[in-house]
Structure formats: structure tokens, C-alpha cells
Amino acid sequence: MRRTVAVWCMVVLALVAGVSACGVAADDGPKAIEAEDLPPDLLDPNPPTSTTISGSPTTAVTVYLLVRTGTTTRLAPALREATDASSRGERIAVLLAARSAAEQEQGLESSIPSDTVLLDVEYVEESNELVVNLSGALFDVQGAELSNAFAQLVWTVTELDGVRQVRFRVDGEEYRAPDAEGIEQEGAVTRADYSQLAPR
């Protein structure tokens, strides 16, 4: 019995010695940790909660959507943000963007199909004319809705300085834009071709 107790005492002493050897040595006092050894999130007491990167400053620009009252459809000006208010291509891209929740709540609509893509623009200074080249998805609508879509485009781009008339290409091919009555027009079109849809 005494032999067993002695053995157990030796085992306990060995374990205690092992734990002491693995422990952290006592320091004389607190020590400063170098900044490069600190985790990055400890260096900033108020780390950001979002990974969003601030974009370029924006400017409110006017584009034209549609508002319907009974059987009457009219153009309606709407303000949207653009990073370059003078960019002809960006102005069209801003128009082609999806409607915001606020615009939907206001009952504003667009006849331009959502998958329509701006391919390129060309400005002809001599005639103050903008040539707009769009994808064929524009023709996902027909009839009055197609006329409405062209009206939105024409009224929007003629907000730009120096643009008085617009010609269209679809997938690079010349296209005669229909006026408000659906009649295809030769050459460029202006706001006057869509006066029936003018805002009130």
C-alpha cells in the first residue's frame, strides 16, 4: 500500500514540474508591443463597417421618363446622378439605368427595354447632331411604346449643350426613328417630333 502511494506521489510531482516548465515566465512588468506586431483592426478604434469605396462626386442631371394618366402618356423629367454631367454617352447610360424605388413610387415608367445597350455615340458639331447607336434590344417594344422610347432618348440628349437633333443607328445600321405618331422620319429628329408627348 505504501509503495502504491509513493508511486502516485511521484507521478503528481512529475506532472506539476511539467506544467511549471511549460508556463509563461513571469515578467517584471507590462511591455509595449510594437505597432507592426499589432493586428490591423486594433490600430483603428473605429474601423469601417462597410467595404464600399467612395466614388467620384456626382451631379444631378435631367432624364425623361414617362407618366401615364388614364389613356394619356407624357414625358416626365426626372433627376438622376451622373459622374460627368457633360458626357453624352453617360447621359444616355443614366437614362437606360433601372428605375429607382422612388421613381416607381411616383408612378414614373420607361418604354425603353431594360436590356437595351448603348453601343456608341458620335457628335457632329456642324449640325449640332448626336448620332446614337443602340443595341437591337430596343425593338423588344413596338408601336406607341417604341415611339415613346425614342421620345425619351431625344428629349434626354437634347438637354445636353450643343445637341439640337438626334439620328439613330441600331447595331451600327442607320435607322429611321418614328415620331410620336409612329411615322418613320428621314434623317435626324428633334423634340418637335415628339411635341404631343411634351411634359405639362
pLDDT block averages, 10 residues each, the chain of length 200: 48 46 50 52 40 65 97 97 95 97 97 97 97 97 97 98 97 97 96 96
**How many Cα atoms occupy the beta-carbon half-sphere of 197 within 13 Å?**
32
Exposed / middle / buried, residue 156 (Cβ in 10 Å: 0-12, 13-18, 19+): buried
Q: What is the pLDDT of residue 54?
A: 45
pLDDT at res. 56: 72
Is the distance from CB of 88 to CB of 118 less than 8 angstroms?
A: no
Under 8 Å between Cβ of 164 and 191: no
Q: How far apart are the first and last CA of the chain?
A: 109
